[in-house]
Structure 1
Amino acid sequence: MIVYLAVSLTVLAQSARQQTTSTGKKISPTLFGLFFEDINYAADGGLYAEMIQNRSFEYSPADRREWHSLTSWEYITPVFSYGSLNVETNKPIHPNNPHYAVLTIEHVGQPGVGENSKIPENKGVPGVGIKNRGYDHMVVKAGEKYAFSLFACQLSATPVALTVSLQDPRGKILSESKLTVNSKDWNKYTATLTASERSDSTSLVILGTTQGKVGIDIVSLFPENTFKNRQNGLRADLAQLLADMKPAFIRFPGGCLAHGDGLGNMYRWKNTIGPIEQRVEQRNIWGYHQTAGLGYYEYFQFCEDIGAKPLPVLPAAVSCQNSGGTWRIGGTGQKAIPMDEMKDYIQEVLDLIEWANGSVSSTWGAKRAAAGHPKPFNLEFVGIGNEDKITPEFEERFKLIYDAVKAKHPEITVIGTVGPFPDGEDFTKGWKYANNLTVPMVDEHYYQQPDWFVRNQYRYDAYDRKQSHVYLGEYASWGNKLKNAISEAIYMTALERNGDVVDMASYAPLLAKKNHTQWKTDMIFFDNEKVCLTPNYYVQKLFTANQGDYYYDKIVSKNSKDSTLAASCVKDSKTGDIILKLVNGGTASQSMKIDLSAFKKLASQAEQVVIAGSAEAENTLENPQAIAPVQSKIKVSKSFQYNAPAMSLTVIRIKTQS
């Protein structure tokens, strides 16, 4: 029997600013979205579907001390062939891509001939070449097609024949194609490789099989089955998981990645568009290499593909305060672009808006069109800065950028920053500065223990609605157990309640690759084949996929003495659906009373999704289903009671009858 706790019943939120139950309070329709940063190998080796590591021979000790131009490549001379492999820079395909491999084939052996015929090394395809195992080895599947390409130029008097193959660890050829490099100019050569069988430790092998000398660059291998079958596209399974969340927006490319480790490491958007061979690769602030293959064009395209608004974040003309290895000593490494360079930098920001929204007759709109997208991307938001230390140098440069964007593009909402913590010096100074400038929205960040989110669920109730609004750009509790996710769910009901001042929110970080995780808490873990959806992912998905644009007060009642109980009620005005989110972060089931008398023509049966389990439960790549949502139907009426399981989130979606 369900017993309703009649003692100390309260409504979920008490605020003089909220409207009456019958009309609802209009809240942000873009409240819940995603934040993507290339941390934990989230891009190269992750969401970006390129399978070759160091495809352009641009790795260097600047990325990682032990790395060099041939990292991830192996020089091979099967069947007693011989020659040489070098890396050169004197005739690059483009100045932005200076390194390339030079393969010299002096002698091509003959398999199974003479006295060496019984030696194992004297079997297989002879030649001089290179082998790449990708990011922690490549997985290929039987019958699936893979798009191979490389740029090459003939450096000898005669053409050079190449054999390209996929091979398993024993050297068995799973697919093979032949090419001939016969031009002194850099040209692109392509082939389709179809795997004959599955292998989870595949290598790509390129062999020169005739005498000669050849330059090789930008060696690429993509599954043909990318998300939406896009060329230079995204890994289909990971991208689909994000699309399934139905996020209102995506913030990219960071994070600390955006303002970088020093001025020379800032993420400059112009370096990440255009042909792959012309993009600028560089060291990643998180300690590895980024190819810029997943660049601004791909970010915007992905947003469009899944119906999310793009939210690019540009540096505020200062580098990360933790630049130069100052993470442990309080962050004193912030550097500022010289003032005599600010005019050009401001133009770079304005050019981005023109690139995204300009007509095909504009300078930068024409570049977007040339890349294959003549229609504007309909950019509405631009973030300026990320967790920056609020110094005089920051304030001076931010104001210059903000004023310029506001003057030329008043239709663009500029989002400022108030440091990396929920309080403290930078938070206080950042908020004061933003309000003085009347910045429309500022970006708050914080990572805290689960109980912090429970204690602070009323944080935004007292925020001044007449001042800058909030974008909660990065937040998470420290951990991926169910108790972490439920604490976040409690907090997210409060974000809905305050959706008139909190305009946007996104969990962080998003992706983490096995054996390459640099952050304690993430939403999705993965390897080259499998994914692990955390309880945090399921909570985020239930909120992002069930967003509303009106919040209703006095719908759900609960025991006011229990801070682990929370709920919200929103309406999706596009569908007419009423959406209840009921959270119980306690150790025992609890009853809540739902009063839907304010709504008309409600269906008597609703969709219900429940996430529940042990507080310490978590999913892993080895056991990815320890926690999973359970879908069912539930009967509803104008007034009913719901018994929320211990440690649970329940979402009830009720349709209105036509």
Structure 2
Amino acid sequence: MKQKLQIFIFLFLAHYGIAQDKTFVIRAGAPVAVVPSTMYGVFFEDINMGADGGIYAELVKNRSFEFFKPLMGWKVEQNPFREGAVLVLNRKEQNTANPRFLRVAAPGNQQGALSLTNEGFRGMGIKKDLHYDFSFMYATQSSGIKLSVTLLNAKDRVIGSAALAPPATAGQWKKQEIRFIANETEEKARLKISVEGSGTIDLDMISLFPEDTWKGRKGGMRADMVQMLADMKPGFIRFPGGCIVEGFDLSQRYQWKKTIGPIEERQLLINRWNFEFPHRSAPDYFQTFGLGFFEYFQLAADVGAEPLPILNCGMACQFNSAELVPLAELDPYIQDALDLIEFANGPVTSTWGKIRANMGHPEPFHLKMMGVGNENWGPQYLERLQLFQKAIKAKYPGFKIIASSGTDPDGSRFDLLNKGLRALNTDFIDEHYYRPPQWFFSNAKRYDQYPRSGTKVFAGEYASHPAGVAPEKKNNWLAALSVAAFLTGVERNAAVVEMASYAPLFAHTEGWQWSPDLIWVNNLKIFGTPDYYVQKLYALNKGTKVVPLTMNNEVVAGQDSLYASAVLDEPAHEIVIKIVNTLPREQSVRLQLQGVKKIASAAKLIRLQHDDLNGVNSIGNPRNIAPQETVIRLSGKQPQVRLAPYSFNLVRLRY
């Protein structure tokens, strides 16, 4: 009886009581892999109002009247009403990229009798004392028209205004712009344009941008959203998707050549997230391509990341239409890939390099890799990829190609592609996994047995999806903690996985279709989720070389509910140890460092922790779960580190 009682007490204390110290053996003098500079990056897709209404700072929705409903987003008011005073005209034969425009007959001496009001993207975020750039394309035979431009707050009070008198253009299209200041902050503002005087004016590309865009570029990107990316120091940016690359059918696929050149010549396209989810219908979701391939390359250069474009491989979404281009007609798709490399890297004397230079970037973008297809699968994908690979490698032998492994990380589709792509010696296989938290905990050893040479892995899209009330899945602490645990296995296997990116990246609080997401915004504010901070901590502390970390001669991947990995940061002369404690109580570990003569007596501890696994960040409480940095004292030959309950811990110690 006494012996049974002793066993019971031991088991009870081991599980619920004060944990016994564990010892992590870190062989700092025996690195096993180089950590690629591209290890942790970001994946951008125009989903959840990520581009228009998001990072692309344009405030006017449907600025060129090209939506299916030409006046969607606009309200026309007349008093008295005059039939035909506002007409939508189409010049398709003369301008296929931007055929529609508005013809407005001014009301004569009836001041304030005709106005056009734009609602913006779930309103317009306006900041007090900030300048705003209003512009438009127009054509008129008359010089007797005046435009009054006003910003209205949610209560219809004027919070900014300007007036213009466009000169006659003899029927030719011209651009006019004016800058004015806002005198109030408003999340749900609208833009009102009143037409006064006499005559007729044609209007197109009606636009409003804040002055505080990223790097102050006119017509550029929302600075706070780009800053969140820059703060992560991503190794790469994957763009433009995602499912929008495929399109519902091939007519709706993403075509990069239609996204470059003058803004007014870029052809609008419906966004497939416009109609993909009936429970989150977004009939006003289109792609204007103000954020196009040139801007993507520029963004990558701005934040010091490698550009990673993904191109259509001649296959539409296999879940929707499964439309295919016959192999005999695939050449134009392959040529698009070759032309993109020239656009990014070619000399200014080349056809596409000259276009890049004319857009303001004569220097090459140094493109090194490209994805062919997104979440495509089956033998039909393998045969198309093979043709792309042959053509690209023939002209650019060192260029890297990323290939799809389909939609799932296992099963017959995955097995077929994994085997087939490795047989083709493809550079990277793009694996995607949107799975519950337990999958991430259970798969921390996923890459331990993968081959160390040959084809590498790109963890191109992943996110932990906790259970929740459909359709919204929260970015809660459980989700982030599970990914932090999984990434110890990714980091440990840097010889296998050379790139990884969470997905999706951005979501608007009133315009999302898919959740969870890394960063959330409304029209004025932004916050990073707990997942964002996990990704950021890994990216900023990726180190330069992986070193073995074991407990009881095994990698630490779930034993005693702990997960861990270690790297050297050689320039900083530091060892970086990442440890996840998934228990609701404190644990303690001892560090046995081998291969170093001595370590400093103090270390930096960065901790991401919360007692509630359902805890989240929000617009109102953006740092509810955020990293906390402290200095801890180290003593003895095997210094001790205490791990808070439900915590992701990052220890940096000098050697």
Q: TM-score, normalised by structure 2?
A: 0.89
Contact 2:30 2:548 (C-alpha < 8 Å) held by counterparts = no
Contact 1:454 1:564 (C-alpha < 8 Å) held by counterparts = no
Match of 1:164 among 136, 149, 152: 149
The 1:340/1:157 distance shift into structure 2, 3 A limit, reads farther
Worse-matched range after superposition: 592-601 or 541-550: 592-601
1:540 is matched with 535
| Pairs within 5 Å for 1:169-568 | 169-183=155-169, 184-287=171-274, 288-323=285-320, 333-392=321-380, 394-479=381-466, 480-554=475-549, 562=559, 564-568=561-565
Q: Which sections of structure 2, spanning at least 5 residues, go unmatched?
A: 1-16, 275-284, 467-474
2:647 is matched with 648
The 1:108/1:348 distance shift into structure 2, 3 A limit, reads same
- Once the two structures are TM-superposed, the CA of residue 160 in structure 1 deviates from its matched residue by 2.6
Distance 2:396 2:324 in 1: 25
Q: TM-score, normalised by structure 1?
A: 0.89
Deviations 1:181-202 (A, max 9, x none): 4111111111112112223332
Worse-matched range after superposition: 525-534 or 43-52: 525-534
Contact 2:402 2:428 (C-alpha < 8 Å) held by counterparts = yes
Match of 2:623 among 617, 622, 625: 625
Matched, 1:599 2:596: yes
1:65 is matched with none
The 1:172/1:411 distance shift into structure 2, 3 A limit, reads same
Contact 1:152 1:181 (C-alpha < 8 Å) held by counterparts = no
Matched, 1:90 2:91: yes
- Once the two structures are TM-superposed, the CA of residue 592 in structure 1 deviates from its matched residue by 1.6
Secondary structure of the 1:462 match is coil
**Residues paired across the two proteins, number:** 615
Deviations 1:345-370 (A, max 9, x none): 21111000000011111111111000
Secondary structure of the 1:369 match is helix
- Write the letter of the residue equivalent to 1:336: L
- Once the two structures are TM-superposed, the CA of residue 93 in structure 1 deviates from its matched residue by 8.0
1:100 is matched with 101
What is the root-mean-square deviation in Å for CA atoms of aligned residues? 2.3
Deviations 1:7-41 (A, max 9, x none): 7x5658xxxxxx98434532323111101111111
Contact 1:83 1:105 (C-alpha < 8 Å) held by counterparts = no
Contact 2:36 2:498 (C-alpha < 8 Å) held by counterparts = yes
Secondary structure of the 1:56 match is coil
Distance 1:561 1:150 in 2: 59
Distance 1:69 1:34 in 2: 34
- Once the two structures are TM-superposed, the CA of residue 139 in structure 1 deviates from its matched residue by 2.1
Distance 1:560 1:158 in 2: 74
Q: Which sections of structure 1, spanning at least 5 residues, go unmatched?
A: 13-18, 61-67, 111-125, 324-332
The 1:136/1:552 distance shift into structure 2, 3 A limit, reads same
Deviations 1:532-558 (A, max 9, x none): 321111111111111122001137779
- Once the two structures are TM-superposed, the CA of residue 157 in structure 1 deviates from its matched residue by 4.7
Contact 1:525 1:533 (C-alpha < 8 Å) held by counterparts = yes
Distance 1:600 1:99 in 2: 73
- Write the letter of the residue equivalent to 1:47: I
Contact 1:108 1:211 (C-alpha < 8 Å) held by counterparts = yes
Match of 1:151 among 137, 143, 160: 137
Distance 1:267 1:560 in 2: 40
Distance 2:630 2:653 in 1: 13
Contact 2:25 2:593 (C-alpha < 8 Å) held by counterparts = no
Deviations 1:216-269 (A, max 9, x none): 111111111011112221111111111111111110111111111111011011
The 1:626/1:213 distance shift into structure 2, 3 A limit, reads same
Task: Flag as ranges the 4+ runs of structure 1 deviating above 6 A.
Answer: 78-83, 555-561
The 1:359/1:79 distance shift into structure 2, 3 A limit, reads same
Distance 1:51 1:92 in 2: 29
- Once the two structures are TM-superposed, the CA of residue 520 in structure 1 deviates from its matched residue by 2.6
Secondary structure of the 2:50 match is coil
Distance 2:295 2:551 in 1: 43
